[in-house]
Structure 1
Amino acid sequence: MSGFEIAGVTLAVFPLVVQGLTTFVEGVETIKLWRRYRRELADYKRLLKTQQIWYLDTLEELLDGIVHSDKELALLVDIPGGPAWQRPEYDARLRARLDHSYEPYMATIYAMLGALECLKKKLGIDASGKVTWDSTPSLGRELKRLKTVLSKNVYAELLAKIDKANKDLREFTHQNRYLEAVRSRRRIGVHRQRIADFKKIRRSARSLHNVVIGRKPWNCGHPHVVNIRLEPQPWDAAGVDGNKLKFRILLNCMHQAGNVPGTIPAVWKWQEVEIEPAEAASAQDVSSNSTTGSVSISKGQISQGHNAPCSDIKGSPNSLAADTIKKGVRFAIGGPSTNVPVPVSIATLAAPITDMCSALHSTPCSIRKCIGFLLDDHASSIAHRHDVFVLGDGESADAQPQSLEKLLASWKQIGRRRPPGTIFFSRRDRLFIAASLASSVLQLNGSWLKKHWRSCDIFFLLKAGSNPDAVHHPYLSWDVPQKDKHDALTSSDPHSPFAVHLIHDEIFFPLGLTLLELSLGQTWADLEKAEEMDSKETMKNLKTALDYVYSDSGPRYGDVVRRCLFWPIDFREPTLEDNEFQQSVLETIVMPLIEDWKDFDGSLRIR
């Protein structure tokens, strides 16, 4: 039973006790021996009625904004403890409002409910509010019970508990209504910072995509697959190099040495690299060498102990330390771009990469090491330099990527059995993947994330000898060279039959469908077949599946899926370049999934 339901049950018990006392007041008028108790019973009833009104007033203040109309509020008040109190979205909003006060608030309501139930039992009031005293064969026994109830100790103790609980609830409610506005302002400030982060991430991701997918560093003649790793929380600044943006790339050479006549031999199959982008006003600034003696980058991209790109050289303390730190896509906003001089000896460590295969082949290593940089000087007025770090030895040549779609389809055959080498996602894994997919919309839209993407475009790689229970990072894959220009931008087409805007049809509807599949552990096609759904009834089918998502993954996850599928976000021209729209996406889609994952993972503070 949720906390919101408990609040409704408590509201329902109050009138039962008051009604029971009313019955006692009326009953003592008919029994001469009991008439002297009438005044005490009437006073008892008045005090409890007062407590009931206080509790109702507190709930009305608490529910303001949680329910959105007088009709909804009336339904809750008129039927306390009824079906309306069981709606998961109400409890989710209550949790958000009370924040870390939620558990103490519910404990206080429990204390009040306990006192009311105790009083109900002592008075002999049944579930319908009727008193059993008039049906007993022993009026003497009932008189004894009434004396016990009206004794000063019992009366004072129970009333004091109810009164204290009511006062605590009012204080909790007043404080949290005030703090709600404070928290909202604080969240807006944090979200503005993150929105600026995401804009810089998208700009750097677009530049990296232009360089890597544009075949600029590929001169060996072999086809390649470039896989960019998705991360849920790019602004997490924990650890060394916390204020450097990083992209994790997994490269795959499709042919080995001697397979293609007239091409440069390729002696590697899989290689993981890390890209650190830097921005400058011009290509001359960002790629300056020992002649100029400085490199122009943003102040916000220089961190203590790592003063310039490619400062990690083989065997250096920085490289060894960085190799042990959990890496991801991270960024922290700095000041405006200004020219910052960097020592010549550090700036000249890197050279531009003209062929990635040759660079990887010529620098085998078992630790993180810089092998050069890629330069994008034509995408915009801002030039981008992307420093490339190789991360240890290459992966096993036998490793094969598997799409999310195929993995979900395979679970239908294997059930709970897990043959060796099989990727199977725990609930924690699925929440992590969901947060990563949602965050990637704000990070990689317009570059690495294709339009009308599907679960078949999300890939996973089980590394040889790795723990199959470890968190599996999702990847987006791109072929180099692209076989078809249209295919490069568009995946298979899961069009929304009720799309309001292009961005809904191309980006958010696919996200909602993939989150739905991830929650239920099966593809949409398999779900339609298993549930014998009519493929022409798309809206009805999605609503049916959404009910399953709420049941399996909870209200917060279900709300995100609902928003992505049915698009209640109201903007005239929704675009991720619009700050208000991006903030809405961050608050209603991305952050709820990140909080869901971190709540399950135990990494959020008690709320």
Structure 2
Amino acid sequence: MSGIEIAGIALAVFTVVSNGISHFVQGVKTIKYWRRYRIKLQGYAANMETQRVFYLDTLEGLLDGIVESDKDLAEMMAKPGALGWQSENYDKRLRQRLGRSYDVYLRTVREMYENLDSLCGQLGLSSTGEVLWNEYSIVDREMQRLKITVSKNVHQRLIADIDTANKNIREITRQSSYLEPIRETRRMNDLNRHWNRHLKLIRDHAASLYRVFVSGTNWKCRCKSRHAVSLRLKSHPTLLEEISLTADNRLKFRILLSNILPSKSLPGTLQWQEIETRSSTSMRHPMKSTASLIQMYRDANLNVASSTKTATLTSCQLPDSSISSATAIKNLCNEVWRDTHSSEMMGFLFDEENHEQNHEHYLYRVDTLPVYNSQSRSLHDVLSETRENSPLGTLLKRERLELAIILTSSVLHLEGTWWLNSQWSSHDIHFHRRLGEEPTPLTHPYLSWRQCAVADKSSTSTRKSTIGSGTIRNESLFALGLTLIELCFGKPFSALRRPEDGDLLDEATNKNCAFRLLAFVYDEMDGVYGDVVRRCLFQAFDVRVLNFNIEEVQNRVLEDIVVPLVENLKISKGDSGTR
């Protein structure tokens, strides 16, 4: 029996006992010479009614906030048999509120219920209020009444035990009410520290993937200029259970690799292969060579409790057999485009450019064979189509929110890394599909292609754009606001501009257009979405520098931009759960 259910049953029995003693007193009045006993019983009745009121007040305080509706709480207080007393969700919240006191509370309420039940039996009543002496003769009933009336020691002991239990429950409730906000603050602080560590891992691994696939030396082939790479975007987890880790605590990413085939075979044909990377990190030993580092890291995977001379892992990793036997990929081009009918691990790549940490990326094929005759369309292209022909035109508000969450999360993950240009736009968001397939759902966006073996690091620019009387503190965030407006109306910015916004197709015109449309965003979507767009455009965050490498900035963007959209999506799905 749950804590919430036993509390309701005890309340019901309290009512039965209180009414039963009052009824018992009325019966004693018919006996002329029992005045002294009648006064004593009246005292018991008053005491039990007081205990019942105390218990009601304690329950109301205990359930405040657990039962969110005042109407539901009032019904539960008035009707101990109401369905709310059987709610598993309420009991889950009660456990969270009481913490380690839950078992003590449960035992105390159960003991009080047992004492109340015993008192009911002495009064000739069941715990449901049924009279147990109806089948007795009048003489037997009066003899039972006499026996109970003169057994004052039994009554006093039971009532004293009930009083003690009631006080203990009241004290548990008081202490829990005092400790709950303290525990919640501590929990949120721990959760924020966890998110910060997790976000740092995402950003570090994303930057490492860029060095490995784009600007590094892993492409040792002569055709590397024909290779390009695109990173799949994903939403940021907002609940501890949603963190995208593999069973061995490695972060997962999706990478799309492309290859333009030579003109002699299939002129102009684009060949691509999607792979999943599982990334992990250890501290780099300053005195080790690259070859020994790789061997040392593999040894650390085989034996986490290795000597202090080996790498110290940032997270406990329990390797499976494929990871423990993985080998370094020597020729990435041959390995990626090799014909195979298996999705086994391809091997791992090592980030040699990071001199502080060892980033190791294990590669798995998503498709067993490379894909030919593929098609790529940007979000801008999709928005430019007529509403009748565009898949965006049929998207529900919930589906727009899902894409908006992915875009906002991606800025949080990638701003300041080389994957995301500071002045990115809907031109840089792509959707891929095989030719002949149904139109791709807009749930798996990728960043635009990056030519491999080209050190393009222009996106790390932190310049500020001054437009009119205002300053864009962070261009990536401002670009996010523009893209969210496009997504809101289902049109590219070029179709949303008006002559009053400006004559030039520049940042000033975009800003004027965005500010003009902001009020309509609230009408088209809702207040939450509009507030997120407003924060992206005005960037009125109370921080000195709007740099995404700063933990405080990450927290502000997560809480003020990403989380509101996630909560809004839950509401649209009919889910009232919170972070």
**TM-score with structure 1 setting the length:** 0.56
- Aligned partners of 2:316, 2:192: CA distance in 1, in Å? 28
Amino acid paired to 1:227? S
- Aligned partners of 2:492, 2:570: CA distance in 1, in Å? 25
Partner of 2:475: 506
Q: Is 1:372 matched with 2:373?
A: no
Partner of 1:281: 283
Amino acid paired to 1:270? W
Q: In structure 2, the residue corresponding to 1:526 is in which secondary structure? A: helix
Aligned-pair CA distance for 1:426? 3.8
Partner of 2:327: 351
Q: In structure 2, the residue corresponding to 1:258 is in which secondary structure? A: coil
Partner of 2:226: 223
Superposed CA offset, 1:39-62 (max 9, x none): xxxxxxxxxxxxxxxxxxxxxxxx
| Residues 113-512 of structure 1 mapped to structure 2, 5 A cutoff | 186-218=187-219, 219-221=221-223, 222-234=225-237, 236-237=242-243, 241=247, 243-256=249-262, 258=264, 269-282=271-284, 294-296=298-300, 337=314, 346=322, 349-362=325-338, 364-366=340-342, 368-394=343-369, 396-410=371-385, 414-417=386-389, 425-445=395-415, 446-464=417-435, 468=439, 470-481=441-452, 485=456, 497=468, 500=471, 504-512=473-481
Does the 8 Å CA contact 2:373/2:434 hold for their aligned counterparts? Answer: no
Distance 1:471 1:517, change over 3 A: closer
Distance 1:465 1:485, change over 3 A: closer
Does the 8 Å CA contact 1:232/1:594 hold for their aligned counterparts? Answer: no
- Aligned partners of 1:497, 1:181: CA distance in 2, in Å? 47
Distance 1:360 1:509, change over 3 A: same
Distance 1:200 1:471, change over 3 A: same
- Aligned partners of 1:424, 1:484: CA distance in 2, in Å? 40
Q: Indicate the larger mover: 209-218 or 193-202.
A: 209-218
Partner of 2:150: none
Q: Indicate the larger mover: 265-274 or 218-227.
A: 265-274
Does the 8 Å CA contact 1:395/1:464 hold for their aligned counterparts? Answer: no
Amino acid paired to 1:296? A
Aligned-pair CA distance for 1:533? 4.2
Aligned-pair CA distance for 1:402? 0.9
- Aligned partners of 2:200, 2:315: CA distance in 1, in Å? 19
Aligned-pair CA distance for 1:360? 2.0
Partner of 1:160: none
| Residues 67-86 of structure 1 mapped to structure 2, 5 A cutoff | none
Does the 8 Å CA contact 1:215/1:480 hold for their aligned counterparts? Answer: no
Aligned-pair CA distance for 1:497? 5.0
Does the 8 Å CA contact 1:282/1:377 hold for their aligned counterparts? Answer: no
Aligned-pair CA distance for 1:384? 0.9
Does the 8 Å CA contact 2:232/2:445 hold for their aligned counterparts? Answer: yes
Q: Is 1:526 matched with 2:495?
A: yes
Partner of 2:6: none
Q: In structure 2, the residue corresponding to 1:400 is in which secondary structure? A: strand
- Aligned partners of 2:178, 2:439: CA distance in 1, in Å? 46
- Aligned partners of 2:432, 2:526: CA distance in 1, in Å? 28
- Aligned partners of 1:475, 1:282: CA distance in 2, in Å? 31
Does the 8 Å CA contact 2:229/2:452 hold for their aligned counterparts? Answer: no
Aligned-pair CA distance for 1:216? 2.0
Distance 1:545 1:266, change over 3 A: closer
Unaligned runs of 5+ in 2: 1-63, 75-175, 305-311
Distance 1:532 1:229, change over 3 A: same
Distance 1:340 1:459, change over 3 A: closer
Q: Indicate the larger mover: 581-590 or 353-362.
A: 353-362
Distance 1:229 1:282, change over 3 A: same
- Aligned partners of 1:438, 1:225: CA distance in 2, in Å? 24
Identical columns (%): 28
Amino acid paired to 1:549? V
Q: In structure 2, the residue corresponding to 1:393 is in which secondary structure? A: coil
Superposed CA offset, 1:237-296 (max 9, x none): 479638320110111112247369xxxx99971111011112122386997699769433
Amino acid paired to 1:359? E
Distance 1:206 1:246, change over 3 A: same
- Aligned partners of 2:245, 2:283: CA distance in 1, in Å? 29
Does the 8 Å CA contact 1:270/1:394 hold for their aligned counterparts? Answer: no
Does the 8 Å CA contact 1:206/1:448 hold for their aligned counterparts? Answer: yes
Does the 8 Å CA contact 1:274/1:389 hold for their aligned counterparts? Answer: yes
Amino acid paired to 1:189? D
Distance 1:279 1:336, change over 3 A: closer
Does the 8 Å CA contact 1:266/1:357 hold for their aligned counterparts? Answer: no
When the two chains are superposed, the root-mean-square deviation of aligned CA atoms in Å is 4.4
Aligned-pair CA distance for 1:196? 1.2
- Aligned partners of 1:489, 1:259: CA distance in 2, in Å? 39
Superposed CA offset, 1:315-358 (max 9, x none): xxxxxxxxxxxxxxxxxxxx963897969x75663222233220
Amino acid paired to 2:253? F
**TM-score with structure 2 setting the length:** 0.58
Amino acid paired to 1:241? A
Superposed CA offset, 1:371-419 (max 9, x none): 1111112223111111111112346422211111121111xxx223459
Q: In structure 2, the residue corresponding to 1:277 is in which secondary structure? A: strand
